C-alpha cells in the first residue's frame, strides 16, 4: 500500500471514529442526527480551513511547513513542501548557470548583442560591444541596432531577408582603422545573437598576401615573356628530336603566363570596392559566349544559347564578360566529347536576371561545392592538369559577381553534370531597345 493510500485510509478511520463517537454522544443525550450533523460539519470545516491555509501559502509563494500528521491534508502538505524545496533548488541552479553564462559572454573578446528578431532591439550586450561599437549601458538598452550603428552597409545587411552569413571588413564606428565582421545568429522564435569580431589583424594579413601575390605576379611577367619569346624563336625543324619537348615547354609557358595574368586580375578585383556601371548589351554578350564555346569545343560538344530574359544588365561589360567566359570555358573543359553545353539568360523570381551555364559533364561531389571558388582549389588534380585550367576562373567569377552585388550558385551531381548560375538583383535589369536585332541567339 502506498503512502497516499495509507494517508487516505488514516483520514477515513479518523472520520469514522469521529462519527462513531458522535453517535454514542447522540444516543446518550437523545439527539442522534443533530449530533452527527454537527460533528460532520465540524470535521469538514476543519479540513476546509487547513486547505485554505495551504492555498494561501501557495499563492503567497511562502515556504510551506512540513506536515507532521498522517492524514490526507498532512500528506499533501508534505508533498507540496518537498516539491517546493526541489523547485527552489532547481531555480537556484538555473540562476547560477545563467550568471555563469552571462559572465562568460561578458568576458568574450567579440562584441555580443542579444536582439529581438522582429525589430532588432537590443536586449543585452557585453563589454566588448562598448569597445568595438560604442554602445553605452543602460542608455542603449531597448534601442534598435540599425539606429545605433550608423553604417549603411550594416543596416542594409541586417534588414535584408537574403543576407549573407557574415558581413566582412566593416569600419568600427568608434575607430575607422578597426575592421569588423558581423554575424547574425537566430536562436529562438523571437531572439537572435549579433556577434561582431575584430578582424583588423586578419585584414592586414590578407592585404599583405594580396600585395605579395600582386608583386610576385608582376615580377614574373617579364621573365616569362622572355622565356616564351625564346621558345617561339626556336624552330622544331632544326632539331626534330626536340619537337615534343619544345611543344611541352611552350604549352607550360603559356599556362604559366595565363596563371600570372589571372593572379593579377584577381589582385586588381580584390583591391576595388566597385566597378564602373554601364548598360551591358546581353544580345552581343551571349553571341560572344556562343562563339567562344564553339571555338573552345572544336566541334566536340553541342552548344546552345537561349535568351529568355529579354533585357540587358547594368554593370561592367569587361568584367562580366570575364566572369561569364570563365564559366563557359570550365563547362567546355570538363564536359566529355559528345556532351551538351547550354547557356541561358532568363528572369527568375522577383524579375531577377540570371545567367546559367549548364553542362552534361562529369559533375562535382557535394563535399567539394563549398570550396569551388577558392583560388587553386582542385576537385581532382589529375583531371585539372589534363584540362589545362589555372584553377582561378571561378575565383575571378565570384569576385566579379560580388562587385556587382550578385552571387554564384552551383548545383551539381557526379555523373549528371553541373549548373552554374549568376544571380543578379532585379534592379540591375535594364529594358532592351526594341531596335536591337536578334544576333542568332534564340
pLDDT at 322 over 80: yes
Percent of the chain beyond pLDDT 70? 78
What digits encode the pLDDT tens for the residues 217-259? 777 777 888 887 878 777 777 777 778 888 888 888 888 887 7
Extract the C-alpha cell encoding 245: 619537348
Least confidently predicted of 5-14, 168-177, 349-358: 5-14
CB 181 within 8 A of CB 167: yes
More confident residue, 203 or 44: 203
pLDDT at 163 over 80: no
Strands annotated E in 46-134: 111-116, 122-125
Torsions phi, psi for 356 (to 5 deg): -120, 140
Q: Which of 164, 100, 145 is nearest to 408 (CA)?
A: 164
Model's pTM, two decimal places?
A: 0.58
The pLDDT assigned to 438 comes to 46
Q: CA-to-CA distance for 316 and 269, rounded, in angstroms?
A: 12
pLDDT classification of 437: cutoffs 50, 70, 90: very low
pLDDT classification of 181: cutoffs 50, 70, 90: very high
pLDDT at 33 over 60: no
Average pLDDT score over residue span 340-349: 90
Q: CA-to-CA distance for 266 and 433, rounded, in angstroms?
A: 33
Quick one: three-class SS letters along 284-326?
Answer: HHHHHHHHHHHHHHCCCCEEEEEECCCEEEEECHHHHHHHHHH
Q: CA-to-CA distance for 407 and 423, rounded, in angstroms?
A: 5
pLDDT classification of 50: cutoffs 50, 70, 90: low
Extract the C-alpha cell encoding 120: 532588432
Average pLDDT score over residue span 211-220: 77
Q: Which long-range contacts (CB under 8 A, 24 or more apart) does 173-181 make?
A: 173/133, 173/134, 173/149, 174/131, 174/132, 174/133, 174/134, 178/132, 179/203, 180/132
Compute the C-alpha angle 149/160/404, nearest 5°.
100
pLDDT at 113 over 50: yes
The pLDDT assigned to 436 comes to 47
Amino acid at each position: 500500500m502506498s503512502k497516499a493510500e495509507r494517508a487516505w485510509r488514516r483520514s477515513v478511520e479518523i472520520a469514522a471514529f469521529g462519527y462513531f463517537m458522535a453517535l454514542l454522544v447522540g444516543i446518550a443525550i437523545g439527539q442522534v442526527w443533530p449530533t452527527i450533523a454537527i460533528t460532520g460539519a465540524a470535521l469538514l470545516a476543519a479540513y476546509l480551513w487547513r486547505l485554505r491555509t495551504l492555498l494561501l501559502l501557495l499563492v503567497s509563494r511562502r515556504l510551506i511547513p512540513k506536515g507532521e500528521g498522517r492524514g490526507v491534508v498532512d500528506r499533501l502538505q508534505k508533498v507540496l513542501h518537498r516539491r517546493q524545496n526541489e523547485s527552489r533548488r532547481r531555480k537556484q541552479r538555473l540562476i547560477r548557470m545563467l550568471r555563469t553564462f552571462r559572465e562568460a559572454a561578458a568576458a568574450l573578446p567579440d562584441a555580443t548583442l542579444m536582439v529581438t528578431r522582429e525589430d532588432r532591439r537590443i536586449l543585452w550586450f557585453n563589454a566588448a560591444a562598448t569597445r568595438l561599437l560604442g554602445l553605452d549601458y543602460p542608455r542603449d538598452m531597448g534601442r534598435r541596432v540599425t539606429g545605433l550603428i550608423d553604417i549603411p552597409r550594416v543596416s542594409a545587411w541586417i534588414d535584408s531577408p537574403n543576407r549573407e552569413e557574415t558581413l566582412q571588413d566593416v569600419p568600427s564606428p568608434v575607430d575607422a582603422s578597426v575592421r569588423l565582421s558581423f554575424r547574425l545568429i537566430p536562436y529562438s522564435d523571437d531572439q537572435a545573437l549579433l556577434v561582431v569580431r575584430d578582424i583588423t589583424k586578419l585584414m592586414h594579413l590578407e592585404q599583405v598576401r594580396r600585395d605579395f601575390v600582386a608583386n610576385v605576379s608582376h615580377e614574373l611577367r617579364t621573365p616569362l615573356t622572355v622565356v616564351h619569346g625564346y621558345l617561339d624563336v626556336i624552330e622544331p625543324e632544326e632539331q626534330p628530336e626536340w619537337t615534343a619537348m619544345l611543344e611541352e615547354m611552350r604549352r607550360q609557358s603559356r599556362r604559366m603566363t595565363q596563371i600570372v595574368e589571372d593572379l593579377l586580375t584577381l589582385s586588381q578585383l580584390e583591391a576595388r570596392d566597385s566597378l564602373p556601371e554601364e548598360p551591358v548589351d546581353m544580345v552581343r554578350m551571349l553571341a560572344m559566349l556562343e562563339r567562344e564555346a564553339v571555338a573552345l569545343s572544336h566541334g566536340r560538344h553541342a552548344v546552345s544559347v537561349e535568351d529568355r530574359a529579354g533585357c540587358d544588365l547594368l554593370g561592367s561589360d569587361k568584367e562580366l564578360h570575364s566572369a561569364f567566359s570563365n564559366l563557359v570555358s570550365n563547362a567546355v573543359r570538363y564536359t566529355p566529347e559528345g556532351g551538351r553545353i547550354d547557356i541561358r539568360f532568363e528572369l527568375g523570381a522577383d524579375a531577377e536576371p540570371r545567367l546559367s551555364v549548364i553542362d552534361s559533364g562529369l559533375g562535382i561531389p557535394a563535399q567539394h561545392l563549398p570550396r569551388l571558388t577558392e583560388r587553386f582549389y582542385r576537385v581532382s588534380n589529375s583531371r585539372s592538369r589534363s584540362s589545362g585550367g589555372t584553377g582561378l576562373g571561378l575565383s575571378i567569377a565570384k569576385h566579379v559577381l560580388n562587385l556587382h552585388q550578385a552571387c554564384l550558385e552551383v548545383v551539381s551531381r557526379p555523373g549528371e553534370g553541373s549548373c552554374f548560375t549568376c544571380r543578379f538583383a532585379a534592379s540591375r535589369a535594364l529594358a532592351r531597345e526594341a531596335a536591337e536585332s536578334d544576333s542568332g541567339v534564340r
